[in-house]
Structure 1
Amino acid sequence: MNLKRTFGTILTVIGIIGLLYTGAQIIQHAGTATTLIVVGIISIIFFSTGISLIRNTKDEA
């Protein structure tokens, strides 16, 4: 497996975990608005970057 694809997968998983955390905190009304906005934005950045790395990396044998 290519190193870029592995890093993209890791970023995507971190982004998904962050988005799930943000969603759970919003539903429970447990976090402050500023914290949830920052975590949500960072998670979206990680998720989109990971997906683009996976998508744009060519498989080479």
Structure 2
Amino acid sequence: MQRRTKIRRRDTTEAITGAITGTLARPQLLVLGSHDQAGRKSVAIILGVNPETLRNRVRAASSSEE
């Protein structure tokens, strides 16, 4: 009988939301940025995301700022 161990790893970092392409009702891409060691802003990643998930997160973030 074999024993198996499941290992999950999660790395986190801070990011700046630079832009959302498309409309808030139908977002397409999420552009994230970060600060380098010199403090300059740069594009870190461009994500194609599930529009429904992104729309829900944008709504949640905008309602928490009010």
- Indicate the TM-score class for this superposition, using the shorter chain for normalisation: 0.3 to 0.5
Decide which structure has greater strand share: 2
Return the TM-score normalized by structure 2.
Answer: 0.33
* Greater share of helix: 1
Q: TM-score, normalised to structure 1's length?
A: 0.35
| Greater gyration radius | 2
- Highest RCO, 1 vs 2 (Cα 8 Å, sep ≥ 6): 1
